[in-house]
Amino acid sequence: MTGRLRGPAAPLPRSPNGTVVTVGSFDGVHLGHQAVLHEIAERAGAAGRASVLVTFEPHPLEVVNPQAAPPLLTTGAERREVLAQTPLDVAYFLRFDRGVAAMTPEEFVRGVLLERCGMRELVIGHDHGFGRGRSGDVDTLRHLGAIHGFDVDVVPPVDFGDQHVSSSRVRRAVGGGDLTNAARMLGRPYTVSGLVGHGEHRGRLIGVPTINLVDVPPQKLLPPDGVYAVRVEWRGGRAGGMMNQGPKPTFADGRRSLEAHLFEFHGDLYGEWVRIEWVERLRDVERFASVAQLQEQLDRDRVQALAVLAGSRSDPNRVTHA
């Protein structure tokens, strides 16, 4: 971790030369977001300033228009994990509420960016809008910069194929099961993180013990349900595996769950924070006539998952963690 990530209750560091700031939801921290973060880090380093991201929690649409709020590519905890791998100095998670939503562009610039963050430069993405009703745009910001003495610059979009990389585009890829292109736009594999808790222990009874993620927020975007080859990371460990995402119809259990069987692992991960990377979808969730038939299919799934994981390790085009 090269940056110092701080929550909204922590005081922001005061740099004698001020800060270089960017603002936005940054859901996914995709390649377009990363271009902005690297730009502010470079500018801050050259000027002896701190680089600061002002981001929001929860997503602004969850407050101003909940029905239109998008599913999240990264939960708050996941965003913090990804941002910790960037050259950013400070991530300021601003609690987004009705009061923040009602701020005019000038109120937000003065009250948050200038007074709290000590901003001297503002760098934004090409499609940035902020303030009440997203009424603030580049022209508004440059006008305010001329009044209050800060510079404003815009980072051009990052393209993938013939379109710009965006959170909406990554969401469409994940929701449609196109994890390869989602990973390319993110610059890393798509993952989910959470705590391991107790399930029904059915896997252990049939010889395929699993770990169960029990606290994944409902806002987290998941790819289509199915059985997947996965990689699992936790503090001090990493293993390949296969995961059932969805219901368990053979046991008449319609609840959606995330249960992963880890290969070559025989420990206890209860209470551990783990990250699961979807590697490849193997098949649909199916109902089997008997537990014996399910066990036979799981044996086939294991063979297929091991082959997928071995192949993805040797694939020179595979996206790795940033």
Domain boundaries, the chain: 19-164, 190-314
pTM of the entire structure? 0.87
Measured CA to CA in angstroms, residue 120 lies from 13, 46, 147, 305 at distances of 14, 13, 12, 51
- Tell me the angle at which helices 167-175 and 179-186 cross, rounded to the nearest 10 degrees: 160
For the domain covering 19-164, report its CATH number: 3.40.50.620
DSSP state letters, 239-282: EEEEEEEEEEGGGTEEEEEEEEEETT--S--TT-EEEEEEEEEE
The answer to whether 35 and 121 have CB atoms below 8 angstroms apart is no
Strands 19-23 and 119-125: parallel
pLDDT value of position 251:
76
Strands 151-155 and 119-125: parallel
pLDDT value of position 30:
97
pLDDT value of position 318:
43
Three-state DSSP state, 213: strand
**CA gap 86, 197 in Å, rounded:** 30
Which of 3.40.190.10, 2.80.10.50, 3.30.950.10, 2.40.30.30 is the CATH number of 190-314? 2.40.30.30
Ramachandran assignment for 295, one of left (phi > 0), alpha (psi -120 to 50 degrees), beta (any other): alpha
Residue 219's contacts (CB-CB under 8 Å, 6 or more residues apart) are: 59, 62, 69, 71, 72, 75
Q: Where are the alpha helices (DSSP H) in the chain?
A: 31-47, 60-64, 76-83, 98-101, 105-108, 138-148, 167-175, 179-186, 202-205, 291-314
**CA gap 179, 193 in Å, rounded:** 16
**CA gap 15, 117 in Å, rounded:** 9
Three-state DSSP state, 120: strand
**CA gap 322, 303 in Å, rounded:** 29
**Nearest CA among 160, 175, 158, 222 for reference residue 194:** 222
pLDDT value of position 203:
60
With a cut of 50, list the residues of the chain below it in pLDDT. Answer: 1-10, 314-322
